[in-house]
Structure 1
């Protein structure tokens, strides 16, 4: 590790101590301490400090969503790079169309470095410091010690797993930076075996020592088992994935179950039986949170039309950055009874709510439906009447603001069901009950047989815009990822302004985009032989 890294590490420790100062007074299990007593020694040598350190990990984990960078790109980037989206405008559009973030030196890659590479390494460093300190601290109850370590190990595993899925060429460590190792240079990436050994070790510990029932907003045994199932899927360990997923779904002690209707999944503060992990922003819990433009990125500008004001029921106030594409909309339309396009996950139609036409559907702009007779208002349609994802619009949001302070659902049981279905299909057993549980909840007709394409399609209908689609395609292999991106991303001929040119994601997609480029500045901080991802 070079001197630049040491400087950043020192600033990181100071920043960590500052965050702890702000965390202490909001925790029920902590007594208030004068800020002059709270330093890195307090954080790493006392039970109260270590507990506060764990709370700070929740805050750092949320930072990716809270950062204002290019209209909160950290919250929406992975949804914009998908076979399910049309990336219309703004910097998220440039990223989603593969015009930026495609070389080690461009500005988009620099942003991704800040929002993901540096972000998750920051969390792994802090989690490792907490783990190593908690393992040796005196005068602490063993159950409390294990609880602290378990939460920290969960965040370390989640962060390394995220980095691996984005970048592939990553390094992992369980050592804290000390005077003795500060000048060590990282010459090579960690092997796949090393990465997964650490992920599984950390998650096994978390599963053993976390409880099923926890305070809303904290990670639980179910959260850890869910991530363990996802890790197993990346290893091709179908039996392990099946075991962990079915445990979350069926264990008698598991408090998790699918909510009764799609209308209830994203309702209220998200504290329901389906949630496995919710980032706290709406309520002042675990350090609070900031307003974001996550929802605004996904909602069209219908309120620019005379006779309709922005309202939460119709999606709130948006600016048409990242929209569901025709491929996704056609999947949703395959079953006319499917409720996921019925103003629960997506809004397809908009209605006048002021003036003389209250209640009438707005249809003044038309998409292209006939390539031989194209609409002359299709660009306005994409700006102002295009279907929107409304998963992140909550009832108490301000309809007149682009920024909202709402909780964010990160992991939920519907994904666990789909993991179980795929793992069973790839190993042994009957996958139908698990995929049909998702379809039945959405009022879609149950399947009588199931294929991998069925699972991929159901994943799209259920989990679109939740940030996991790109990872799912990558896990299924380069052939699947390339096929989906080349054939379905964007809207092709139905948006001629982008078709076939520099703004067409199907044209811009390259095979080596399966891994994000490592920003050159980050690569320069590593050893001279550390490998850039292939193709960059």
Structure 2
């Protein structure tokens, strides 16, 4: 194993994601501490070390700077590393994924591995040494050991998801340990999954708070017990995520490419389950998700719902669900994202994400003038439903560009709108008069997630701004900074600011309630396809989204014949640009269908009607080996027992 995995945590200066008030986070670990006794001398010193344990948790505000920048460099290449999006900048790590240049020597291949194992090391050291502190208050020891144990298990989850089965290291290894102690083989998928679940269960049953959202108003914001600490609810959500991985085709032995992967001693690393065993894995995931829903919905957790004039406002509800305003972290009423979000991270700068998702708007006020460098693909745009709940595009012709239009949906790519398209609930203008008809009469989530040519910008404090994405438009390739524009003629709008872009009063939402509903529906369909809960929880997502539900009632759409695809379609839209699709495509083992082909957009080198032509942006590369990252060369050079993933 990497000889950097277990060294003393003394002197590490890394920030924590918990809060001591609505917006004040723990200070950094002092840099002049030189002994373990000094580190654990005070209760605050223990909290600072717990901060170090948490500090490698992913935060996605800075995904432009893959595995670098702020937030301890844990931001991912996931949104632009799949068919959801494309960054303009060549330095973004997603380019390595998309063009096939990724390998075991790629910097961020090592960075994720190293940082999560550093987090594992820090957690183990914390668990082994917290007893040194003699001034802890009642309950501190049990709670904080349980948190460190849960965090360590979650780091293993992230490693498993990205690299496949990995070595489990349970004890501290000295920096001066002989090489023989560093030669640690990979554990099997079954062993890693069992370890994660077991460690989370131990933490749940031995110290984790039940539900921080139900704490007193003083405690919910405290540095030692409040938001940002892992509680039983968060640990249980990661049990769901782990079981979803274990049940999926990439991990359950279905993918033949990994069936023969063994350690040097011949130990198989992927399972050989029967169909009944695979079904049981899905049933376990469904049971885990249903148990969470039963125990927590209505107790600080629910889908965010906002109302206008007494009516559910789907557009605002969905936008609010992913906003994560720090100033509203303790408002669990159900009208803010605080109710829906389960796991979040304060690390990193929200303004970086805002900069990526706010168009160039050349010539306008600073508060609305940015880059728009995170482009949504045409394929992502096509995935959104129409206002009537139907899919506009059923597929593509052999050129993989020309859409096969669902004639019953009402979708058209002919002409331009002659009047404003208004929200049927509130009357707000969602698509101004004169925009391309392909962007009219779409579902509310489309208007919350996609900035298209001619759309009005969100922040109007310095006047109304309409985004121009044609070549000489205010945000087009031919205007202003040549390094800042959308490569597809669309900009990702989801989570973009309704204020000036530099507003940093945000947390990065990593897991929210909508995902758990979709996890439950998927797991239930794979294990018990006749269950009425499948439609119930799928329809809860669609109801909040403001589109017709499935069923046999008045105003409902016919129940889909292919329910698996319906669930996946809903998941793609609801969780778009939230770092999910990259991993969904892989765990379903269907990445070849979308990753190994071109992405498209508008013709950004043209103005007028010539702009509105589907145009190839780039070819994308995918081989079977790309289902997992390679293991980093640095560690394989040290650890001779660390076998490489196939194909690398």
Aligned counterparts of 1:389 and 1:199: Cα–Cα separation in 2? 34
1:486 counterpart = 2:633: no
Counterparts in 2 of 1:338 and 1:249: CA distance versus 1, 3 Å: farther
Counterparts in 2 of 1:90 and 1:294: CA distance versus 1, 3 Å: farther
1:276 counterpart = 2:342: yes
- Contact 2:78/2:582, CA 8 A, preserved across alignment: yes
- Secondary structure, aligned partner of 1:77: coil
Aligned counterparts of 1:339 and 1:135: Cα–Cα separation in 2? 53
Matches within 5 A, 1:40-439: 40-43=36-39, 48-61=44-57, 69=65, 72=69, 74-92=74-92, 95=95, 98-99=98-99, 101-105=101-105, 109-114=106-111, 116-134=112-130, 143-178=139-174, 183=179, 184-208=181-205, 209-210=207-208, 211-214=210-213, 215-236=226-247, 237-251=281-295, 254-260=299-305, 261-267=317-323, 268-269=325-326, 271=329, 272-281=338-347, 290=349, 293-301=352-360, 303-304=361-362, 306=363, 308-309=364-365, 311=367, 316-335=368-387, 336=441, 338-342=443-447, 344-348=448-452, 349-351=454-456, 359=464, 361-362=466-467, 365=470, 383=486, 386-395=489-498, 398-399=500-501, 404=504, 406-428=506-528, 429-430=531-532, 431-439=534-542
Aligned counterpart for 1:467 among listed residues 572, 579, 585: 579
Calculate the TM-score normalised by the size of structure 1.
Answer: 0.78
Q: 1 or 2, which has the higher helix percentage?
A: 1
Counterparts in 2 of 1:442 and 1:381: CA distance versus 1, 3 Å: farther
Aligned counterparts of 2:89 and 2:63: Cα–Cα separation in 1? 19
Aligned counterparts of 1:82 and 1:30: Cα–Cα separation in 2? 35
Calculate the TM-score normalised by the size of structure 2.
Answer: 0.66
Structure 2 partner of 1:285: none
Cα deviation, residue 514, structure 1: 0.7
- Contact 1:346/1:387, CA 8 A, preserved across alignment: yes
Instruction: Deviation per CA, 1:197-244: give whole Å up to 9, x if none.
Output: 210111112333422125232322221111111111112222222222
Aligned counterparts of 1:217 and 1:55: Cα–Cα separation in 2? 10
- Contact 1:245/1:416, CA 8 A, preserved across alignment: yes
- Contact 2:381/2:450, CA 8 A, preserved across alignment: no
**Coordinate RMSD, CA, aligned:** 4.4
Aligned counterparts of 2:18 and 2:237: Cα–Cα separation in 1? 28
Aligned counterparts of 1:20 and 1:88: Cα–Cα separation in 2? 30
Aligned counterparts of 1:274 and 1:467: Cα–Cα separation in 2? 17
1:511 counterpart = 2:624: yes
Structure 2 partner of 1:535: 647
1:524 counterpart = 2:520: no
Q: Which runs of 5+ in 1 are unaligned?
A: 282-288, 368-374
Cα deviation, residue 291, structure 1: 6.1
Aligned counterparts of 2:93 and 2:176: Cα–Cα separation in 1? 45
Q: Which runs of 5+ in 2 are unaligned?
A: 214-225, 248-280, 306-316, 330-337, 388-440, 552-558, 607-613
Instruction: Deviation per CA, 1:14-67: give whole Å up to 9, x if none.
Output: 333x55999999999999999867742344577654333223333332678669
Count of residue correspondences: 494
- Secondary structure, aligned partner of 1:411: strand
